[in-house]
């Protein structure tokens, strides 16, 4: 290929880039903001899409965030591309805080006692071992144990916290995109 790397990155480099951006977090955030403001649709549609992505970032359903955000944006008549960009709110820096917050809030709302500790750590270890060994027989019982203890509280807390964060991001993105598009109409530089 014309733009392929001469020496493909090693696994260690791929893992590092997955956790920490090549340049900096500031540059990555500016890139996402520029991509959102340059979408060619109404500021309201872009803001609805970005809010859908931010909301979904608070759910514990990793691996499905793009799909869920796209479906939510589609039902709200928002920008699907902006929803994908909005899911970047959930990243390696914010996920630990999101997960702890959603778990604590969800546990309180459901009247459960948070069950962090050795028992939960053992269940998660069993689940990751079963995934690594591609043993689906042992995975389902572990998921059945984790659903009421961990995933259900995170889902309940995540939806509530995600709604608040989504509303805040809706108004911020709408204002940002609206002012950017207004400047572009008048020929002012971005």
Whether 89 shows a pLDDT value over 70: the answer reads: yes
Domain that holds residue 126: 36-185
Is residue 14 in a domain? Answer: no
Is residue 168 in a domain? Answer: yes
The crossing angle, in degrees rounded to 10, of helices 152-185 and 25-37 is 60
| Mean pLDDT on 57-86 | 89
Distance (Å, whole) CA 128 – CA 146: 13
Whether 104 shows a pLDDT value over 90: the answer reads: no
Is residue 148 in a domain? Answer: yes
Is residue 145 in a domain? Answer: yes
| Mean pLDDT on 120-145 | 62
CB 55 within 8 A of CB 162: yes
Please report how many Cα atoms fall inside a 13 Å half-sphere around the Cα of residue 46, on the Cβ side.
23
Is residue 89 in a domain? Answer: yes
Handedness of CA 171, 177, 179, 185 (dihedral sign): negative
Of 61-65, 84-88, 131-135, which range is least confident? 131-135
pLDDT at 51: 94
CA 188 to chain centre: 33
Q: What is the pLDDT of residues 26-51, one digit of tens each?
A: 887 777 777 777 777 888 999 999 99
Query: What is the domain count for the chain?
Result: 1
pLDDT at 167: 95
Q: Please state, for a pLDDT cut of 90, what percent of the chain lies above it.
A: 24
Is residue 173 in a domain? Answer: yes
Is residue 27 in a domain? Answer: no
| Mean pLDDT on 10-33 | 75
Is residue 30 in a domain? Answer: no
Q: Alpha carbon of 70 to those of 76, 138, 180: distances in Å?
A: 10, 32, 24
Whether 85 shows a pLDDT value over 60: the answer reads: yes
Q: What is the pLDDT of residues 134-163, one digit of tens each?
A: 656 665 666 666 666 677 888 899 999 999
């Amino acid at each position: 290929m014309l733009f392929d790397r001469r020496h493909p990155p090693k696994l260690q480099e791929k893992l590092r880039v997955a956790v920490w951006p090549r340049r900096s977090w500031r540059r990555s955030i500016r890139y996402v903001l520029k991509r959102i403001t340059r979408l060619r649709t109404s500021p309201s549609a872009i803001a609805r899409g970005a809010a859908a992505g931010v909301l979904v970032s608070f759910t514990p359903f990793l691996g499905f965030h793009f799909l869920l955000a796209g479906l939510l944006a589609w039902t709200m008549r928002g920008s699907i591309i902006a929803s994908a960009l909005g899911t970047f709110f959930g990243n390696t820096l914010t996920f630990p805080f999101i997960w702890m917050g959603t778990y604590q809030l969800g546990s309180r709302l459901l009247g459960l006692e948070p069950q962090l500790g050795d028992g939960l750590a053992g269940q998660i270890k069993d689940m990751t071992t079963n995934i690594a060994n591609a043993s689906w027989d042992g995975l389902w019982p572990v998921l059945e144990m984790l659903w009421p203890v961990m995933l259900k509280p995170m889902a309940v807390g995540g939806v509530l916290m995600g709604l608040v964060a989504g509303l805040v991001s809706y108004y911020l993105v709408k204002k940002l995109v609206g002012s950017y598009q207004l400047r572009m109409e008048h020929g002012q530089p971005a």
